[in-house]
């Protein structure tokens, strides 16, 4: 991830020239009309392939009665996907010069995530991480090339920062070899240690000088990826409903789950985009927790889709778990998503204790819906939708109050 400290007031030059190879110079933080590029959109779409594979394996593990093992594997695989995506996203916001080499290296990263996706099944079922490690290595070495190009174009503190990224990424990639050579019981500990080391690399690299990112561009990139993940959730749930109807004719049993799932996903979209967030991404103190915290948002959003598939399989008798466990597969990630979005996003727009308590209270009610049996998912959807309605009405009252106060001041 990249950022610029508030004390750094140097002008940020734009990529110069239109040749096939250009210097990797920083882009301006206040660049007008900065939006996601077609390459970035293609990048996101290809990453969803890996997310879909991880979600499918989570469904299989939960349906077979191995939720703990499935969640652990899901957390590990999801981290590798998300971290590679996030590092590219923040780097591109600062240094995307869109030359030929930049495009080729980005396409190599896409190839890496496809290799990783191909190895997800073996990682879940046989604890074989070779393909996952190889795919991750391809993505990470590609971003090392980008940082080396930046170091070659920079000088002073900026060059030091870029080289720190190169060294940190290389060190981490060596550390991940522990997943290949250590016994299975030790691999979760390797993951925990290496995850913390990976998270520390940007903090260390940018301790003296931070690189620029475009707040609006970053918020758009994260928002688009959230939309893609939620879309994948709907697609997975729809496929599960179709399979249930085609094979078992269980439309009556599946309708409450489908309706509740739609309400949950629609509410998740509404809650995430209720306020613009780019104003809160101006400094490292704001941007680092926000960027890192999206691991929970993305993982829980994708897990909602997996949970809906589990609930559907349980309803038609294909999953060997209880109704309570199937309901929890939906309600728990939903509650986690609501809490994470509140912590990172919506709390900035809440006024007063009452409004601040609405999201945590909603998350608690969603968890309590777990115990409502066959109607748990539908009830969780209703609770989520009601939370959105309460938020809309609260904002409407604030707007009306503000307009009334402005009118009174104007005619006082």
Radius of gyration for the alpha carbons in the chain, expressed in angstroms and rounded: 23
pLDDT value at residue 274? 80
For the cut 90, the answer to whether the pLDDT of residue 288 exceeds it is: no
Query: 265 with 402, same domain?
Result: yes
Rounded Cα–Cα distance for residues 377 and 331 (Å): 7
- Name the domain count of the chain: 2
- Give pLDDT tens digits for 392-406: 777 677 666 665 444
Query: 85 with 224, same domain?
Result: no
Closest CA to 9 of 278, 210, 287, 280: 210
pLDDT value at residue 33? 79
pLDDT value at residue 62? 87
Query: 278 with 315, same domain?
Result: yes
Distance of CA 202 to the CA centre of its chain: 18
Query: What are the structure tokens assigned to 313, written together?
Result: 């399989």
SS3 19: coil
- Residue after which a domain boundary falls, among 188, 213, 238: 213
> Which residue do the tokens 């890996």 mark?
50
Give phi and psi for 154, each to the nearest 5: -110, 175
Closest CA to 31 of 278, 221, 216, 209: 216
Instruction: Report yes or no on 57 lying in a domain.
Output: yes
Least confident of 2-16, 57-71, 205-219, 276-290: 2-16
Give me the sign of the Cα torsion angle 188, 194, 197, 198: negative
For the cut 70, the answer to whether the pLDDT of residue 306 exceeds it is: yes
Q: Give the CA angle between residues 245, 246, 249 to the nearest 5°.
A: 45
> What is the pLDDT averaged over residues 13-40?
75
Rounded Cα–Cα distance for residues 202 and 182 (Å): 27
> What is the pLDDT averaged over residues 377-399?
84
Query: 139 with 246, same domain?
Result: no
- Residue after which a domain boundary falls, among 173, 188, 213: 213
For the cut 90, the answer to whether the pLDDT of residue 145 exceeds it is: yes
pLDDT value at residue 352? 58
Query: 66 with 125, same domain?
Result: yes
Query: 123 with 261, same domain?
Result: no
Instruction: Report yes or no on 30 lying in a domain.
Output: no
* Of residues 248 and 357, more confidently modeled: 357
Query: Which residues are CB-contacts of 242 (< 8 A; sequence separation ≥ 6)?
Result: none
Give 354's pLDDT tier (boundaries 50, 70, 90): low
Instruction: Report yes or no on 24 lying in a domain.
Output: no
Give 8's pLDDT tier (boundaries 50, 70, 90): very low
* Of residues 179 and 164, more confidently modeled: 164
- Classify each residue of 185-208 as buried b or exposed e, where b means 16 or more C-beta atoms within 10 Å of its C-beta: eebeebbeebbeebbebbeebbee
Rounded Cα–Cα distance for residues 97 and 149 (Å): 11
- Give pLDDT tens digits for 360-376: 899 999 999 999 988 99
Query: 51 with 177, same domain?
Result: yes
Q: What dihedral angle (degrees, nearest 10) is formed by the CA atoms of 290, 294, 300, 301?
A: 110
Query: 228 with 293, same domain?
Result: yes
Instruction: Report yes or no on 395 lying in a domain.
Output: yes
Instruction: Report yes or no on 14 lying in a domain.
Output: no
Query: Which residues are CB-contacts of 362 (< 8 A; sequence separation ≥ 6)?
Result: 338, 383, 384, 386, 387
Instruction: Report yes or no on 250 lying in a domain.
Output: yes
Instruction: Report yes or no on 255 lying in a domain.
Output: yes
Least confident of 87-91, 186-190, 336-340, 402-406: 402-406
Instruction: Report yes or no on 369 lying in a domain.
Output: yes
CATH number at residue 342: 1.20.1410
Query: 164 with 230, same domain?
Result: no
* Of residues 268 and 186, more confidently modeled: 268
- Give pLDDT tens digits for 195-254: 999 999 999 998 887 778 888 888 899 999 999 999 888 888 887 777 777 766 667 778
- Residue after which a domain boundary falls, among 187, 213, 239: 213
Query: 237 with 378, same domain?
Result: yes
pLDDT value at residue 367? 96
The percent of residues above 90 in pLDDT, for the chain, comes to 47
DSSP secondary structure code for residue 278 in this structure: G
> What is the pLDDT averaged over residues 290-311?
92
Query: 176 with 324, same domain?
Result: no
Q: What dihedral angle (degrees, nearest 10) is formed by the CA atoms of 81, 85, 86, 87?
A: 110
pLDDT value at residue 327? 92
- Give pLDDT tens digits for 32-56: 878 889 999 999 999 988 998 998 8
Query: 355 with 229, same domain?
Result: yes
Q: What dihedral angle (degrees, nearest 10) is formed by the CA atoms of 180, 185, 188, 191?
A: -30
Closest CA to 291 of 210, 189, 194: 210
3-state secondary structure 300-369: HHHHHHHHHHHHHHHHCCCCCCCHHHHHHHHHHHHHHHHHHHHHHCHHHHCCHHHHHHHHHHHHHHHHHH
Q: Give the CA angle between residues 328, 307, 124 to the nearest 5°.
A: 110
Q: Which domain holds residue 150?
A: 38-213
For the cut 50, the answer to whether the pLDDT of residue 320 exceeds it is: yes
> What is the pLDDT averaged over residues 184-189?
86
């Amino acid at each position: 991830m990249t950022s610029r400290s508030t004390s750094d007031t140097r002008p940020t030059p734009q990529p110069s020239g239109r040749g096939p190879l250009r210097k990797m110079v920083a882009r301006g933080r206040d660049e007008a009309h900065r939006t996601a590029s077609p390459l970035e959109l293609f990048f996101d779409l290809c990453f969803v392939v890996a997310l879909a594979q991880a979600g499918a394996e989570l469904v299989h593990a939960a349906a077979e009665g191995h939720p703990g093992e499935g969640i652990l594997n899901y957390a590990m695989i999801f981290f590798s996907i998300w971290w590679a995506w996030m590092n590219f996203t923040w780097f591109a916001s600062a240094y995307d010069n869109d030359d030929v080499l930049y495009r080729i290296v980005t396409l190599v990263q896409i190839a890496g995530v496809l290799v990783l996706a191909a190895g997800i099944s073996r990682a879940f079922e046989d604890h074989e991480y070779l393909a996952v490690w190889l795919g991750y290595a391809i993505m990470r070495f590609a971003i090392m090339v980008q940082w080396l190009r930046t170091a070659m174009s920079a000088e002073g503190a900026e060059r030091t920062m870029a080289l720190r990224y190169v060294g940190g990424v290389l060190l981490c990639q060596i550390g991940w070899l522990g997943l290949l050579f250590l016994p299975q019981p030790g691999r979760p500990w390797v993951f925990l240690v290496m995850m913390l080391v990976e998270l520390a690399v940007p903090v260390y690299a940018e301790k003296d000088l931070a690189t620029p990112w475009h707040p609006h561009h970053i918020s758009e990139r994260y928002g688009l990826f959230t939309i893609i993940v939620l879309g994948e959730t709907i697609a997975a749930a729809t496929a599960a409903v179709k399979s249930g109807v085609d094979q078992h004719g269980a439309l009556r049993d599946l309708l409450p789950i489908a309706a509740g799932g739609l309400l949950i996903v629609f509410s998740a979209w509404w809650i995430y985009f209720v306020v613009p967030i780019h104003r809160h991404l101006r400094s490292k103190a704001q941007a680092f927790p926000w960027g890192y915290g999206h691991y929970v948002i993305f993982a829980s959003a994708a897990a909602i889709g997996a949970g809906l598939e589990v609930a559907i399989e349980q309803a038609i008798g294909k999953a060997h778990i209880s109704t309570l466990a199937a309901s929890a597969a939906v309600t728990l990630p939903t509650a986690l998503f609501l809490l994470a979005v509140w912590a990172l996003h919506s709390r900035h727009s809440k006024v007063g204790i009452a409004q601040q308590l609405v999201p945590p209270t909603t998350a608690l009610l969603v968890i309590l819906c777990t115990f409502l049996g066959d109607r748990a998912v539908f009830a969780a959807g209703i609770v989520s939708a009601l939370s959105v309605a309460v938020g809309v009405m609260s904002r409407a009252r604030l707007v009306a109050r503000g307009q009334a106060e402005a009118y009174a001041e104007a005619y006082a």
